[in-house]
Structure 1
Amino acid sequence: MSHDESMQDLQRLLESGGVDPTPRFNFVSYDLLHRILAPNRMAIIQTMSGAGPISIRELARRVGRDFKGVHNDISALRKAGLVYTADDGRVVFPYEDIHFDFRVSAAA
């Protein structure tokens, strides 16, 4: 969804007074999407989907990577707003799944 389309959706939502229950993350380009959701980070997201709160150490064990690398990736995912840290220090991906919808068009 383009920035303009997102803004139009937001305007319609504000005018209707309704609430859209579907959380959305929009990326301005495929490159940004790929940078934030690089393959190692996608493995983390897949592992966390539906798992509830999990420690970074346990997450690293489940994805077969070292703690420091997973910690760095979690920091990037947290900064992007895709995961958060619970009060007990464990990290949470609060969704059951993730859906991608993007367009590929001719270069300008």
Structure 2
Amino acid sequence: MLNKVTLTVSSREAVTNRTLAAFRGEPQGAVISFASPEMLWQTLTRKRWELLKAMTGRGPMTIRALSRELDRDVKGVHGDVHALLDAGVLDRTEEGRILFPYDAVHVDFELEAA
């Protein structure tokens, strides 16, 4: 079974309802929520999306190894990694490696007429 995360746009109320349901023991799955589509795309730039694609299902990595794999400079990858760490998308292991602990990603949001 895949360890899948859903990246979604959710209101504060929806996040609260999902949290309360989890406290009641209702499975919620792994979800990372953003307040708006703009926040999602500000966080998940093209280069950061490539970074996540490279890390999906891979286990802990060093920033240097990731930058070699992406054929990008370490400083740029370092900045993107820290932006994703700050957003709660990536984790850091006790050894200081970075981790995207999922085998699959689903992006879910809806565009409605204004």
Same fold (TM over 0.5): yes
The offset of 1:23, in angstroms, is: 1.3
TM-score (ref. length: structure 1): 0.87
The offset of 1:87, in angstroms, is: 1.6
| Residue of structure 1 aligned with 2:42, choices 11, 27, 35 | 35
Identity %: 34
Q: Cα distance 1:6–1:57, how it changes in 2: closer, same or farther (>3 A)?
A: same
Q: Does 1:98 align with 2:105?
A: yes
Please list every run of 5 or more consecutive structure 1 residues that lacks an aligned counterpart in the other structure. none
TM-score (ref. length: structure 2): 0.83
1:2 is matched with which residue?
Answer: 10
Please list every run of 5 or more consecutive structure 2 residues that lacks an aligned counterpart in the other structure. 1-8
- Measure the CA separation in 1 of the matches of 2:79 and 2:109: 27
Higher strand share: 2
In 1, are the aligned partners of 2:67 and 2:74 still within 8 Å (CA)?
yes
Higher helix share: 1
1:66 is matched with which residue?
Answer: 73
Which structure exhibits the higher relative contact order, with contacts defined as CA atoms closer than 8 Å and separated by 6 or more residues?
Answer: 2
The number of equivalent residue pairs is 105
| Aligned residues: CA RMSD | 1.6
Q: Which runs of 4+ in 1 moved over 2 A?
A: 4-14
